[in-house]
Amino acid sequence: MEMKKPVIKSIPYEEFKDNETLEALVNELNKERTNVVVGALDDLINWGRSNSLWSLTFATSCCGIEFMSVGAARYDFARFGFEVTRNSPRQADLIMVAGTITHKMAPVLKRLYDQMADPKYVIAVGGCAISGGPFKGSYHVLNGVDKIIPVDVYIPGCPPRPEAILYGMMQLQRKVKVEKFFGGVNRKQSREELPEGPMIITNVPQETMNNKEKEQ
């Protein structure tokens, strides 16, 4: 999972490269050794995938503006393969949750996530998406998106600097690079292997259910 040396202002390269967690992950993955052919194919596919991650335009508040800056002239994430943002979840590989998620927005976010095609990734940008940020304790704010969707990378800050957002996005690239496409992520999981059962929503009022049935 080496990477070409990127030139990033204001973060020393040594720190940038420092990735203990990911190293551990790679070691664990390669413990049993990999078949040369499959491994090479894996590398090729991951190289391709990690360098063309398209994100969904999903910005609810302040952090979204910084995300726009990252896409614009000075920071320009297209340099690293995040070419464009997509407005439709069907065409997106990753969702950058940039901003506060409220109670009213939570089901919408979940639905957008469900609409994305696999493999899909989530980056939580900013304090709000990570834990509720400055609004933690409000009656209408979700304290962290990881309560409803799985998160791959967290980028702290309020808002995070563009460099931090870029770093987070590249961290995701690395994560994609160490995936095992064959026999790894692309393998069908058996029922026993599922970490927890699917999310079952139990508090849907009867009225809503009736409406749903009527629609069908």
Partner 1 sequence: MNITFIQPEKFREQMEYLRRERGMDFLRELVGMDWGEEGIGAVYMLENSETKENVQVATRSTNREAPAIPTVSDIWKIAEMYEREAFDFFGIIFTGHPDLRRLFLRNDWVGYPLRKDYDESEELNPVRMFSENVENDCTHTLAPDGTLQRNPDTLFDNNEYIINIGPQHPATHGVLRFRLSLEGEVIKKTDVHCGYIHRGVEKISERLTYPQILALTDRLDYLSAHQNRHALCMCIENAMDVEVTERTQYIRTIMDELQRIDSHLLFISCAAMDLGALTTFIYGFRDREKILDIFEEVTGGRLIQNYNVIGGVQADITATFAEKVKAFCKYIPKKIKEYNDVFTNNIITRKRMVGVGVLGRDEAISFGCTGGTGRASGWACDVRKRHPYALYDKVDFKEVIYQNGDSFSRYLVRIDEIMESVRIIEQLIDNIPEGDYKVKTKPVIRIPEGSYHATVEGSRGEFGVFIESRGEKSPYRIKFRPMGLPLVACMGTLLNGNKIADLMTIGATLDYVIPDIDR
The least distance separating partner 1 from the CB of residue 75, rounded to whole angstroms, comes to 9
E strand or H helix that includes residue 200: none
- Write out the binding residues for ligand SF4, residues 24-83 only, by CB under 6 A: 61-63
Give me the numbers of helices (H) and strands (E) for the chain, helices first please: 8, 5
- Write out the binding residues for ligand SF4, residues 155-184 only, by CB under 6 A: 158-159
Task: Count Cα neighbours of 96 within 13 Å in the Cβ-side half-sphere.
Answer: 33
Q: Which of 17, 24, 40, 107 binds partner 1 (CB under 8 A)?
A: 107
142 binds, among ligand SF4, partner 1, none (CB under 5 to 8 A by kind): partner 1
Encoded one letter per residue, x for contact with partner 1 by CB under 8 A and - for no contact, window 142-181 reads x----xx---------xx-x--------------------
106 binds, among partner 1, ligand SF4, none (CB under 5 to 8 A by kind): partner 1
Please check whether residue 209 is in contact with residue 60, taking contact to mean a CB–CB distance below 8 angstroms. Answer: no
The least distance separating partner 1 from the CB of residue 38, rounded to whole angstroms, comes to 38
Contacts 24+ apart (CB under 8 A), 129-137: 129/63, 129/97, 129/98, 129/99, 129/100, 129/101, 130/154, 130/156, 132/100, 133/100, 133/158, 134/158, 135/100
The least distance separating ligand SF4 from the CB of residue 149, rounded to whole angstroms, comes to 17
SS3 210: helix
The least distance separating ligand SF4 from the CB of residue 134, rounded to whole angstroms, comes to 5
Q: Which is it for strands 94-98 and 121-125: parallel, antiparallel or unpaired?
A: parallel
Phi/psi region, residue 200 (left: phi>0; alpha: psi -120 to 50; beta: rest), is beta
Residue 134 interacts with ligand SF4 (CB under 6 A)? yes
The least distance separating ligand SF4 from the CB of residue 173, rounded to whole angstroms, comes to 22
- What does the binding site for ligand SF4 look like in residue numbers (CB under 6 A)? 61-63, 99-100, 126-128, 133-134, 158-159
